[in-house]
Structure 1
């Protein structure tokens, strides 16, 4: 195992690479594909104290939009870059960790997640890559290894899990799994610009120090909502988290969306706290009349709206 890689299971147990255990794996000789869902920002983002200083904790909002990675064994020389440098690093780390040799073949990829606006595009791209290699070499899927790869590459969202979770994005630590009982229909827009998460960390932590009590109440209400299966309670907490974020990385359309929330029978508002995305949470799929009226309203603000299923329930 390469020295210094933070691979390990959730309990810290180190994982044995295939080359050390004596196992051999053969590629299946056919196109292998894997996907990872993205996110519509977060239902909550704020401080969580795990030591002397607060960490950035998130409850990402999974969405039914994805990144795909495909590998087709053949006679071609393997591509070194798939979607970019980070996914190439993810592939290299998997190969170094387990020891197989990548056969000649062709990588291809696709994503319907927008870059730089808060949809976890980068994390989804990275996660789809080792998932593809797990399938290619018939290796048992190991979330601990995927988490180790993310730790080696970047601050990440929890889209490597197929459930909601309270997650420390910098420490790559799952604090609490929140299950799959909650789900919403959504309408979202993307405001102009992009946000580089790495450049706003200090700004966020200073903001959290000033508003710690508000974030504590917000997270408490959110976790109560998940524990009781109360989607309306989760939506209220998401709205509170979005309102708190207005003090540090504001959305231009937030006040208008909040004012007109009841007009469109929405339970709440969500945002990409370090992105440009904002949207509404609906308990049920809006009918065509609501979708049309909401689209016209958002168009009057200068935005094209999209509809998607968020969460799981």
Structure 2
């Protein structure tokens, strides 16, 4: 097989992110992402047998991490397949906005790894995919895992804990903060190790919320994590988001801890869901913010997909990250 295809979803920021204890007691950075499966990256890779391993042509010239992923994956797959290594041509197609905290680079990298493996007719085990992704971009999001809520270490590519089978059933009313400006994640300060006890309490709350299906408890944990993150990446709209969540009866607020998307979390089982969505959208507008997406997360097979309801259609017309150009 000389041609391969791969796809990877994105996420909508994090539910919690900070420092946590590993099994051995060491403190490390970790996060729980909010899956969003309707958007993502598709990758097409065509092997060129007469080329060298370093001869990777990327149509999307600015996707340096994807190029790196293609090179190291081609090398690994050639070894596993017992064939001569070769380069090729990589084409990416993505509707994930860049730099606002939706995992665009990991989506690119993971789709690339899958496309290259497909072109070599190699099935990569999950742990190999994770290690390749970390090698390609230094730190990665857990998009290669299923939608189970996982406390994941992005720098070592290791799951600290699977928190349960599914998130509680939620509907997320999403928006952007900071004028949807891209965030330089490299320049962000690290969470102080001394804060580990605060984050361990959040971990316990999320675990309990998942076990009991308690959207309210999960919302409180997300809001607390977002509030703690104000000392690292302050969002001037955060107090407004808290006020909106309170006034429309939402469970809480979640944010991209290293980006500019944010969401109002609503219980998908609430009989007042449609009214809460309408009121939340109105309140966002009153604070000069625009609702950009409404999607489901957790609790059902449609997790991470956009809501098909009258209250969501006007929001969906705006698109994810309104005013931000996806890359292709």
User: TM-score over 0.5 for the alignment?
Assistant: yes
Q: Which position in structure 1 is the counterpart of 2:197? A: 213
Mapped to 1, the partners of 2:29 and 2:184 lie a distance apart of: 15
Superimposed CA distance per residue, residues 177-215 of structure 1 (whole angstroms, 9 cap, x where no aligned partner): 234421422112112332222222xx2233x52x33322
Partner of 1:63: 36
Secondary structure (helix, strand or coil) at the match of 2:131 reads: helix
Instruction: List runs of 5+ in structure 2 lacking aligned partners.
Output: 300-328
User: Shift of residue 258 of structure 1?
Assistant: 1.1
Superposed CA offset, 1:61-109 (max 9, x none)? 111221111246799x986125411111111111111215688975322
Corresponding residue of 1:46: 18
SS in 2 for 1:274: coil
Q: Distance in 2 between matches of 1:248 and 1:133?
A: 37
Q: How far apart are residue 305 of structure 1 and its match? A: 1.4
Give yes or no for contact 1:156–1:172 (8 Å, CA) kept in 2.
yes
**d(CA) in 1 for partners of 2:74 and 2:88?**
15
Q: Does 1:93 align with 2:72?
A: yes
- Conserved? CA contact 1:185–1:307, under 8 Å: no
In structure 1, how many angstroms separate the alpha carbons of the residues matched to 2:191 and 2:29? 7
TM-score normalised by length of structure 2:
0.76
Q: How many residues align?
A: 281
Match of 1:186 among 165, 172, 194: 172
User: Residues 66 and 105 from structure 1, CA distance in 2 versus in 1: closer, same or farther, beyond 3 angstroms?
Assistant: same
**Offset, 1:53:** 6.1
Partners of 2:228 and 2:45 lie apart in 1 by 43
Cα separation, 2, equivalents of 1:276 and 1:116? 8
User: Among residues 97, 103, 106, which one is paired with 1:120 in the alignment?
Assistant: 103
Inter-CA distance 310–128: structure 2 relative to 1 (3 Å threshold): farther
**2-side partners of 1:36 and 1:250: how far apart?**
29
Task: Find out whether 1:199 has 2:187 as its counterpart.
Answer: yes
2:256 aligns with 272
**Alpha-carbon separation, structure 2, partners of 1:132 and 1:294:** 40
- CA displacement 1:155-198 (0-9 Å, x = unmatched): 11111111221111122211112344214221121123322222
User: Which of 256, 262, 278 is the equivalent residue of 2:246?
Assistant: 262
Residue 326 of structure 2 aligns with which residue? none
Name stretches of at least 5 consecutive residues in structure 1 with no aligned partner.
1-25
Counterparts of residues 151-190 of structure 1 (less than 5 Å): 151-153=134-136, 154-163=138-147, 164-182=149-167, 183-190=169-176
- TM-score normalized with structure 1 length: 0.79
Distance change in 2, residues 1:308/1:162 (3 Å): farther
Contact 1:41/1:272 (8 A) holds in 2: yes
Q: Specify which of 223, 235, 249 is matched with residue 239 of structure 1.
A: 223
SS of aligned partner of 1:92: helix
User: Which residue in 2 is equivalent to 1:306?
Assistant: 292
Q: Given the superposition, is the C-alpha separation of residues 82 and 124 from structure 1 closer, same or farther in structure 2, using an over 3 Å criterion?
A: farther
